[in-house]
Amino acid sequence: QRTLDMQGKKVLVSAGPTKEMIDPVRFFTNRSSGKMGFALAEAAAERGADVTLVAGPVSIEAQHPSIKRIDVVSAKEMYDAMNEQFADKDIVIKSAAVADYRPKEVQTSKMKKKEGDDVITLERTEDILKKLGERKENQFLVGFAAETDTPIEYGLGKRKKKNLDAIVVNDVSREGAGFEGDTNIVSYINKAESVIELKQATKKQIAVQLLDCILQDMKDDSI
Ligand code: PMT
């Protein structure tokens, strides 16, 4: 019985892409509609959790009235919002597709076209997950990994490296999985390195099953 089984739990979810400005009219971004993250926020709110959703620029709305939504644009803004919200949360799920690089300099006026090629120097953005992994006390921290090659091996390594309690591996090269669509196919990997494969289902159904996995692991951890 799932009804209200997350009452009293504080959940923080990040969703959507980030946008890194080049000049006032151009930007770099990642593919992500926000659907997976919003589904997680909604599934948790429906089960009675107190949910905060940090959303990059997306065109969808959170349906559940109790979700507290914080809108951000860039990786730096998402980093600040997640760090500010982190301390009192029980479960933190990072499904956002954060840009790994941003232009080193943001031009204040529109860049003029040149003859031939041009070069934009990029710098790394803040690694939000790594920082939260370092700060972690009692939070159950879950990362996502969008991969196309050897996703499970990659996920196992990333979970350890970033000090995560679990990682959700999303093989975005599979039909019916990944960006923009209404369905997904993922694998959930926990600290014991058990790999739970969730078959193709709507993002909402996947979200419900991921929350089941997380709650089970939290229960096992507390024994
Ligand atoms: O939004 P949808 O259209 O529904 O698509 C869903 C999704 C495919 C975007 C989602 O299921 C997913 O896989 N999200 C993670 C996408 C991603 O950027 O993966 P990554 O392997 O690049 O990043 C790994 C993890 O590090 C993620 O938890 C990410 O939030 C985090 N990260 C990445 C870069 C960075 N600078 N800071 C981070 O915290």
Total residue count of the chain as it appears in this document = 223
Q: Is 222 exposed, middle or buried (0-12, 13-18, 19+ CB in 10 A)?
A: exposed
What is the reported pLDDT for 114?
Answer: 87
Distance 221 CA to ligand 1 centre (A): 25
| ipTM, two decimals | 0.97
Who lines ligand 1 at CB under 6 A?
A: 32-36, 75, 94-98, 100, 125-129, 143-146, 170, 172, 178-180, 203
Closest Cα to atom 10, ligand 1: which residue? 95
Annotated binding-site residue? 161: no
What is the reported pLDDT for 84?
Answer: 98
Distance 65 CA to ligand 1 centre (A): 25
Would you give the distance in Å from CA 117 to the centre of its chain?
Answer: 34
Q: Which residues are 82's β-sheet partners?
A: none
Alpha carbons 50 and 6: distance in angstroms, whole number: 8
> Which atom of ligand 1 approaches the CA of 178 most closely?
8
Sequential pLDDT tens for the chain (223 residues): 579 999 999 999 999 999 999 999 999 999 999 999 999 999 999 999 999 999 999 999 999 999 999 999 999 999 999 999 999 999 999 999 999 999 999 999 999 988 999 999 999 999 999 999 999 999 999 999 998 888 899 999 999 999 999 999 998 999 999 999 999 999 999 999 999 999 999 999 999 999 999 999 999 887 6
Q: Which CATH number fits domain 10-108+122-222: 3.40.50.10490, 3.20.20.105, 3.40.50.10300, 1.25.40.20?
A: 3.40.50.10300
Annotated binding-site residue? 86: no
Q: What region does 167 belong to: left with phi over 0, alpha with psi -120 to 50, or beta?
A: beta
Backbone torsions φ then ψ of 180, nearest 5 degrees: 70, -40
pTM: 0.96
Burial 3-23, CB ≥16 within 10 A → b, else e: eeebeebbbbbbbbbbbbebb
Annotated binding-site residue? 158: yes
Distance 97 CA to ligand 1 centre (A): 3
All structural domains of the chain with their residue ranges: 10-108+122-222
Alpha carbons 13 and 53: distance in angstroms, whole number: 5
Alpha carbons 186 and 171: distance in angstroms, whole number: 7
Alpha carbons 187 and 197: distance in angstroms, whole number: 4
